[in-house]
A = this chain, B = another copy of it.
Amino acid sequence: MAELTAEAQPLEGSEATAILERARAVVDPEMRAAVDSLPGSLRRIARYHFGWEHADGTPADGSAGKAIRPALVLTAAGALGGSRARERAVRAAVAVELVHNFTLLHDDVMDRDPTRRHRPTAWTVFGDADAILAGNALQALALRLFAEDPHPASAQAAVRLTECVIELCAGQHVDTAMELRSPTDVSLAEVLTMAEAKTGALLGCACALGALYAGADHEDVEALDAFGRQAGLAFQLIDDVIGIWGDPHRTGKPAGADLAARKKSLPVVAALTSGTPASAELAELYALPCVEGDQEAVERIALAVERAGGRDWAQVEAADRMARAMQELSRAVPEPESAGGLLALAEFVTRRSS
């Protein structure tokens, strides 16, 4: 786990930061052009969501996110096809980011999430219907980009992205359905599959699209998909660990916020299904209603998750997923100098907000 939880080494961290910055620089203008092609009403909602405008339509300098997915597309294309391939993959990178934001707009409505990127979510400002409609328009925009792209891989890439959209929707279905079930009725396999669908699928698709745009063969495309999926799962595992034991000063959320919300996160489900005495205690604690501000109760739950092995399991599992990701990457991109960018991005995402 050392490579995941240790402080970012300056060199690696700055390599990922430089890659992300460079991706944003080429993707941002195309993203804005795509969004600005929408009719006024939908454009306004999308521009608000991306942080480019305030709710009243005045310009904002908010960030539209870290652009990890576009960076994965471009870096994968570069790793397998050099700088020419990377340059030609910009539309694919924009398409992936548009799909990501389409799902964010919709998921926030379904999950009733009030904030996104430190601002009120679009549905809280414009209403459910408009947030959903803006999301639909972003899906259409993403697929229009492929249909307009003369690149020989664009049709194959569009097929892959639509399949990913379907997997994302299936993952979100499982997630919303799971909300209604008792935590003790949920299996670890189910939450892992759900996390792969909701988080791994699009990261994998981003890498696969980059490979497709580099003209890679089927095997390498699949290896890069697996690389992104496994890194995505590692990210989700670490993110769930941080959601319980993360430093509130660094996460910006109260300690144990996911526990107070009784989330069926990966460490919790691992703990609940561990069959240890602590897992029975945890089940009882998790069944109690949450009393706001009762930090002592949250700490008792966190301790029970830890004693039932949830924390160790998540960290070992994350390390294992990262190892698998590295293995897939080295299969498709054996030269370390070519694989370096993707490696740096994978380590960056699994270390983010820790």
**Residues of A near any B CB (own CB < 8 A):** 38-39, 41-42, 106, 109-110, 127-130, 132-137, 139-141, 143-144, 146-148, 154-156, 158-159, 162-163, 165-167, 169-170, 172-174, 176-177
Contacts and interface: CB of A to CB of B under 8 A. Distances in A.
A173 B143 contact: no
Describe A's contact surface by its main secondary structure.
helix
A143 B158 CA distance: 8
Nearest to A110: B129
Contacts of A42: 166, 169-170, 173
A38 B165 CA distance: 11
A43 to B, nearest CB: 9
A137 B159 contact: no
Given A155-B155, A173-B41, A162 B133 contact: no
A130 B166 contact: no
A146 B148 CA distance: 12
Contacts of A165: 136-137, 139-140
B41 A130 contact: no
B159 A147 contact: yes
A166 B147 contact: no
B39 A133 contact: no
A67 to B, nearest CB: 23
A176 B128 CA distance: 11
A106 B136 contact: yes
Contacts of A139: 136, 139-140, 165
Most buried by B among A42, A147, A159, A177: A147
A135 B102 CA distance: 13
Nearest to A44: B173
A162 B140 contact: yes
Given A38-B166, A139-B165, A147-B147, 17 more contacts: A42-B166, A42-B170, A42-B173, A106-B132, A110-B128, A130-B176, A132-B132, A133-B170, A136-B136, A136-B139, A136-B165, A139-B139, A140-B166, A143-B143, A144-B158, A147-B159, A158-B158
